[in-house]
Amino acid sequence: MTIPESARNGANSTWVSVVGARPQFVKLAPVCRAIDQHNRNSSTSIIQHRILHTGQHYDREIAELLFEQMAIPHPDHNLGVGSSSHGTQLARMIQNMEPILRSERIDWVIVYGDTNSTLAGALLAARLNIPLAHVEAGCRSGDIGMPEEQNRVVADHLSQVLLTPSQVALDNLLREGIGGDADPRKRVSVLAGDVMYDALLQHLKLADNRAAENLRQFSLESKGYYLLTLHRAENTNNRQRLASILRGVKLLDLPVLFPVHPRTKQVLAAAGLSLNGKIRPIPPLGFLEMLAMEKHARKILTDSGGVQKEAFYLGVPCVTLRDQTEWPETVGCGANRIAGTEPELIRQAVMENHARDWSAFTPYGNGSSAEKIVDQLSAADRE
Ligand code: UD1
């Protein structure tokens, strides 16, 4: 990026985005674009944006390929922490991140979503007294036993600016006393909308261009298959739950395309569970291929939060293989059914008719959330 002459002596600020897992790369992409746009348009304030990749995800299909397809700048730092137990992974992230966050004056650390990389970035920024912003703040499943719920609650409580994807998420924060008028810590909670919607709109045309080729590659016809994703620890770490879901999926009437997350691949092999019958396992897909295969699926079955929303945006009915969701709006309008993990309940949820059209319902903003986020943080910079 070229810094305009007029801004060279103006106010510069340094923001560090901490990411590490697949859904965070998706959320980061529109924020990078919005920062570039800000820098092109502003004659007075330039944002130096550094990307710090913890290395939590490292397989090409779920890391590097997303950076390439979404034109995300190469990370400034890669901590290369890789996989291990939660404790070791978190400890490595924090230890490797500390000298980087101490090495220069940082105006914002930005964390995204609810992974271990979110928790590590939030905790360290708070400890080093660096202003912290949380993108996708305020989501709650109500199950504090989930690592993701623990991560998001801690990140929210430590942040100064909380950027929520929906009114429901904003209300959750206000109920917890974060960011309202009465907040003694003067934290700011705002309705920013969903950056994943920005990402989808920015890449849908590219995905459409390759959809026919992708369908041919998997010998599938548009609306002639279901798409399945499954990776949550609550499902994969429990052999009985995993086997029960697969029994339900095998009862369906169409082929089921199943991009298998690395975690799930290992668990399936270790548990000796087979994927024969209607299920067609394939390696994880890139972002563009995933959008294409989501759009053309008859229905989507998933335990991922991001995939539930992408189904909603693409007008594809979704069946969620969990007992609760952080995205209640998708359920309220009939786009999404919470099926749990019982085989017969899964079969029924997929076979029943869903509401036909929820396109007029827009609880997650209009696709310009990243711009709002950059405006909000740069306004706070100036205060
Ligand atoms: C993480 C997030 C989850 C998010 C998901 C998206 C946490 C606690 N969980 O789950 O919220 O929805 O990312 O994908 O942060 N593995 C590989 N290659 C990789 C990455 C992982 O083989 O590139 C395997 C490793 O064996 C690892 C396992 O997958 O032990 C789980 O990876 P991990 O990063 O711990 O969590 P995810 O299940 O991916």
Measured in angstroms, how far is the CA atom of residue 261 from the centroid of ligand 1?
A: 8
Mutate to test the pocket of ligand 1, among 22, 53, 57 (most ligand atoms within 8 A of CB): 57
CA of 20 to the centre of ligand 1 (A): 10
3-state secondary structure of 93: helix
Nearest CA to ligand 1 atom 39: 263
Among the listed residues 59, 102, 108, 56, the one whose alpha carbon sits nearest the alpha carbon of residue 79: 56
Residue closest by Cα to atom 35 of ligand 1: 83
HSE toward the beta carbon, residue 109, CA cutoff 13 A = 31
pLDDT digit string (tens) for the chain, length 383 residues: 333 443 444 479 999 999 999 999 999 999 999 999 999 998 778 999 999 999 999 999 999 999 999 999 999 999 999 999 999 999 999 999 999 999 999 999 999 999 999 999 999 999 999 999 999 999 999 999 999 999 999 999 999 999 999 999 999 999 999 999 999 999 999 999 999 999 999 999 999 999 999 999 999 999 999 999 999 999 999 999 999 999 999 999 999 999 999 999 999 999 988 887 899 999 999 999 999 999 999 999 999 999 999 999 999 999 999 999 999 999 999 999 999 999 999 999 999 987 779 999 999 999 999 999 999 999 987 67
To 10 degrees, what angle do helices 116-127 and 86-102 make?
A: 40
Amino acid 277: pLDDT:
80
Indicate whether residue 236 lines ligand 1 (CB < 6 A).
no
CA of 353 relative to ligand 1 center, distance in Å: 33
User: Per-residue DSSP letters for 301-343?
Assistant: EES-HHHHHHHHHHT--EEE-SS--S-HHHHHTTSEEE-TT-H
Q: Given the CA of residue 114, which atom of ligand 1 is nearest to it?
A: 11
**243 CA to middle of ligand 1, Å?**
20
Residues labelled as active-site residues: 231
CA angle 241, 246, 248 (to 5 degrees): 95
- What pTM was estimated for this model as a whole? 0.95
Whether ligand 1 lies within 6 angstroms of the CB of 6 is answered as: no
Q: Is the CB of 146 under 6 A from ligand 1?
A: no
Find the 263 Cα to ligand 1 centroid distance in Å: 6
Q: Tell me which residue has its CA closest to atom 20 in ligand 1.
A: 57
Pocket of ligand 1 contains residue 57 by CB under 6 Å: yes
Does the CB atom of residue 53 touch ligand 1 within 6 A?
Answer: no
| Nearest-CA residue for atom 14 of ligand 1 | 22
Write the Ramachandran bin of 138: left for phi over 0, alpha for psi from -120 to 50, otherwise beta: left
Look at residue 269 in the predicted model and tell me its pLDDT. Answer: 92
Q: What is the pLDDT of residue 382?
A: 67
